[in-house]
Amino acid sequence: MFEGKYFLFHLEKGIGTLTLNRPPYNIFEAGFYTELSEVEDFISAQEGIRCLIINANGKCFSAGIDLNYLQGVSSAYVLEKLPWLQKIYGFWQEQNYPVIAAVQGMCTGSGLEFILGADIRIAAEDARFSLPEVQLGLSPDMGGTSRLTRLVGLGQAKRLILTGEEVGAEEALRIGLVEAVVPLEELNARALKMAKTIARSPEAAVRFAKKGVNLTDEGGLRAGQIFEQAQSTYCCGTEDLQKAVAAYLAMISAKGKK
């Protein structure tokens, strides 16, 4: 269990839950990033995580960065700190287990960039997404121009970034920014159900599947197929595969007898 000023984390039956805990708006300020690094170190030290959920307390996921903090940032500060900030925002993609973000209400600027490194994003029907950095004299610098473009494509990324336009949950689903939309009251239950489904699958298969998709996205088709050859060679020699196949066949057989 981790209880900080900005984050809560607990692990139960292989499912970790990281909660932004500065309601109602979960504003990102200087201490947020320091504690994010600390909680990531804490999570890295935990054994047995099979899936992780990121959610937030309050009426919105995050209203983004504290503009007062932004006023005190210099070019020299950014030159020194930004590689570290990008690293802690990219933490989720480096984990062996899948990461699911459950988003409600406003998800703005740095708050949106925070979830771009998740593997799956689930939005409540009231969720609203925007990247207003250009209107503030900036360009998104923690995944906004890189990860967002991979998710939604060149044109949609330019539209969202250059205009700062806010999009609702259904449009976010249509353009590929999120993978599912659910009623607000079902948001955390849906994320938990998905996490439990993933956690029940053989661990090696889940790990290789995530890495294979990421590798293909980053390195291209040929690199992805070579990785598929390696992971399949490994997985087909595991006891987990034999047990999973036997259980699946037994389930199909039982259904056929009804």
So what's the pLDDT on residue 230?
67
Q: Model's pTM, two decimal places?
A: 0.89
What value does the mean pLDDT take over residues 133-147? 85
Question: Quick one: what percent of the chain has pLDDT higher than 90?
Answer: 64
130 backbone dihedrals φ, ψ, rounded to 5°: -160, 155
Q: Which fold has domain 2-199?
A: 2-enoyl-CoA Hydratase; Chain A, domain 1 (3.90.226)
Q: Which of 133, 166, 170, 186 is catalytic?
A: 133
Tens of pLDDT, residue by residue over 181-194, are 999 999 999 999 99
54 backbone dihedrals φ, ψ, rounded to 5°: -110, 125
What are the domain boundaries of the chain?
A: 2-199, 201-256
**d(C-alpha 23, C-alpha 6), whole Å:** 9
Q: Peptide bond preceding 83: is omega within 30 degrees of 0, i.e. cis?
A: no
What value does the mean pLDDT take over residues 84-106? 94
Residue written as tokens 């950095």? Answer: 133
Does 3 qualify as catalytic in the annotation?
A: no
Does 125 qualify as catalytic in the annotation?
A: no
Q: Which of 88-92, 121-125, 137-141 has the highest mean pLDDT?
A: 121-125
**d(C-alpha 99, C-alpha 89), whole Å:** 13
For residue 46, what is the DSSP state? -
Q: Which of 113, 166, 186, 218 is catalytic?
A: 113
Residues 6 or more apart in contact with residue 138 via CB below 8 angstroms? none
